[in-house]
Structure 1
Amino acid sequence: MKKKQIIFTGGGTAGHVMVNIALIPEFLKDGWRVDYIGSVNGIEKELITSIEGVTYHPISTGKLRRYFSKENFKDPFKVMKGTLQAYRIIGSKRPSVIFSKGGFVSVPVLIAAKLRKVPAVIHESDYTPGLANKIAIPFSKKVLTTFPETVNYLPKEKAEAIGAVVRDELFTGSREQGYQLTGLKADKNILLVMGGSAGSQKINEAVRNGLDTLLHSFHIIHICGKNNYAKEYERQGYVQYEYVSEELKDLLAITDLVCSRAGSNSIFEFLALHKPMLLIPLSLQASRGDQIVNAKSFSKQGYANVLEEENLTTETLKQALLQLKEDKFTIKDTMSTYHSKEAKQKVIDIIYAASEQ
């Protein structure tokens, strides 16, 4: 009997890959052939090529900018080239279904899927749909959402709220391993600082400029982003990583508090692990505002405190983190009422159903 074939796509940021990483092992385990279409140099290539049993196919991609750039005139041709490449890959692999996590690389893939008459399922993590997913929705069969409210922005016949898909391995972290990796101890609250997969210069500067004061109250694990390691700030109680993958589960096992951007995938992972958060969403000047809406939703539900990027200074960050430490137990109590709705299995069931149509 011929094995079923699935193609995953999505990229640009780690957030556009993590749900795929959570799902891929389940399809490999069930005997599916798994391929992945991503960009030539995106973070998805680094994350996916390390997964045994998955074939990675790079294609040409544009970038969906909301500002004027000379590159905007070139991007339609890049998308056309990527669509042709994806069309050929889909024709060669003959998948039963395509699953997209979004990001600009997914647009040519979903256009090609429609042309090849292959059903496609999209996952939208944010409160409001991203630009890439907005463009791709007409080429999809189903659009799954993390936030229930997101279905109000989507075609009713396609939309279904399924909750957050969280990687199982995050629940398997070892505290002992976390302490060994970092050299930290449990004598202070351990604060995990993350600025997104590429890091955040503003958050990095605010944390490092306030280290002398912050280290009185916290041990700090700082995931600072590629090429952002700063040797001059090395000191006891402050551990820097440019990026972590396998180690993240162990770092989270010893984490008491989180300071983070407000990307949907990450904050739902912190929620599932009951980690109180200070969220610093990307400003409107640097984004479409999705992180601001995500952060407001979590603040309203009592899962997080929020510090707007426009108000971020070393001093306001210190005050906000000390307030988070004070609010820790109240937030954890609120988080304890949040229960997973087995979202991952729902997504798998929907993909299976789409593949049989």
Structure 2
Amino acid sequence: MSNAANETDENGTPNSVVGWSCVRVCAVHTLFTEQSLQVRLVPSLISPDGVSIASGRLTSPHFPHSPYSHNNSCSTRLLAAPSHRIFIVFKTFQLERGRYIARLLARPRWTFDRSWLDHKRRSVQLLSGSSGRQNCVYDSLTIFANNSSPPVGLSFCGDWLPPSVLSDRNELLLELTTDASVAGSGYELSYYSVSSVSSSSSSQIFELAPSRERSGALTSIGYPGTYPASALMRATIIPPIGLRCVAVALRADFGGDCRERDGRFPARSAFSPLDSVSRAYSVPDFDSLDWDPWPCSVDTPLKLSIPAENQLIVEFRSDSDSENDGSGFRMTWDCEDTQSVQL
């Protein structure tokens, strides 16, 4: 994230927030005093190349160079434009394990069965706000993304990736809380501003703001689980200047023979040329693109090398029958300097 000073009041609070903004407040508490250090980072609404920031990459403090700090409380508030929502997708996640898992791992090694643990993990309701907090009593990341009053968050810990989260409104809050011992590497996530509209065909369209990050993650909405019915999700990855990017579809499951009645597959991707001068994003003629359909199931990573001066567009379309749904898809991307690639 880039940092810049916005107009603030005497308390340091932005007077007005237009479009997309992110506010992070971290307080580091010592064990012996009640003093705390607060740092507020307010990224500019305009990036250095003049493009509005409506997507990006967010990490825990010190990631990936060192573990996060002990006895730390760090809150990050994401605010999108009115009528928009916020979609977050985790790329990596490693916090101190929760109480339930710690008890399991405390058993003698010869009694430990990983497959049994995986089954227990699914049965423990970590996605429930109350159950998650009961488990994640050491270090935790809590996500507040709904309209409930009082706010109810989902708490996560350990090293399993949290599910992707779509906020109910244009605001999302993340709270990282750590204790005095054992620290993981932290987390890395991608965030997107999402415009959601209903089309004339009674389907819902989720348009994700294009991402210009050198690394990130993308999933279907609701991954890994039920995705919205009768919906079209569209995402765009724009490589930063001078970088060559490779995206990899790690997993995809669209349920059995997923082809629609017209023979189309629900997921597809295409490359579209960028303006070599302005590199500004413009909506292409989607019907004219050379689309590559994805198979109904991807267990072996599917590599997508983005050509120079091109953007990658990914579409996922669901039908009205939720009975034949799979878990959706997950992909990541990373970019390298073109000169280092040539060497």
Instruction: Report the TM-score when normalising by structure 1.
Output: 0.28
TM-score (norm. length: structure 2):
0.28
The structure with the largest strand share of the pair is 2
Q: Greater helix percent: which structure?
A: 1
